[in-house]
Amino acid sequence: MMGAGGSSRKRKHMDADERSATIARSVRTILECLDDDPDREGLVKTPARFAAALQFFTSGYTDAEPAALVGDAEWDENHTELVLVRDISVFSLCEHHMVPFHGKVHIGYIPNGKVVGLSKLARLATLYARRLQVQERLTTQIADAVAEILNPRGVAVLVEATHMCMVMRGVQKVGASTVTHCMRGVFRTDPALRKEFISLATR
């Protein structure tokens, strides 16, 4: 599987325990660089806690492949109109500062003889969100995964998110949000269908 950045560079393999220990040691070093005491009561367990949390936040690297995640939850169905799952909550880490961004994903597709279990669309969104990400790539990866797995007539994904790197640092603008979308197949060629999706997703 390619990494979140599209690179096929192979990552060094570590088992879970080795990965946790390595991250924890690094966090301890960071705490020391901040001129705090990693042995004081409030911080003594922080490196291990952070290691466990970070592995959960980035479990999209080690979870099942997208097709395996969907499994056999596909069925033949003669439905030819829009299927839309709205308001899928996602949380991710910006790869530039490793601080969170969070928001909603809306996924629509036009079946081509097959439909998928609706919860699987939410699981696909979560799989890609649990990597170091940028919102633009996250949007495209979800759309491409649905297109590859279902081979529908069209796929549309819209993501609305708030980035803490804009809130906590930099311009420090509370309330700013970012909207991205990705259209495939008939959503790209049919303006009326694209308008219908965006209208339903954002109402």
Annotated catalytic, 94?
A: yes
Distance, in Å, from the CA atom of 50 to the CA atom of 67, rounded to the nearest integer, reads 30
Annotated catalytic, 102?
A: no
Q: Which of 55, 97, 160, 196 is catalytic?
A: 97
Q: Which of 32, 77, 79, 96 is catalytic?
A: 96
Q: Which of 135, 141, 181, 182 is catalytic?
A: 135
Annotated catalytic, 141?
A: no
Neighbours of 39 (CB within 10 A): 10
Annotated catalytic, 135?
A: yes
Annotated catalytic, 96?
A: yes
Annotated catalytic, 79?
A: no
User: Per this entry, what is the length of the chain?
Assistant: 203
Beta strands in the chain (DSSP E): 74-76, 83-94, 100-110, 114-116, 132-133, 154-163, 178-185
Q: Which of 55, 160, 165, 196 is catalytic?
A: 165
Neighbours of 42 (CB within 10 A): 8
Q: Which of 94, 133, 141, 182 is catalytic?
A: 94
Q: Which of 106, 133, 141, 163 is catalytic?
A: 163
- Three-state DSSP at 13 gives coil
Cβ burial 145-178 (10 Å sphere, 16+ → b, else e): bbbebbebbbbbbbbbbbbebbbeeeeeeeeeee
Annotated catalytic, 97?
A: yes
Q: Which of 32, 65, 77, 95 is catalytic?
A: 95
Q: Which residues are catalytic?
A: 94-97, 135, 163, 165
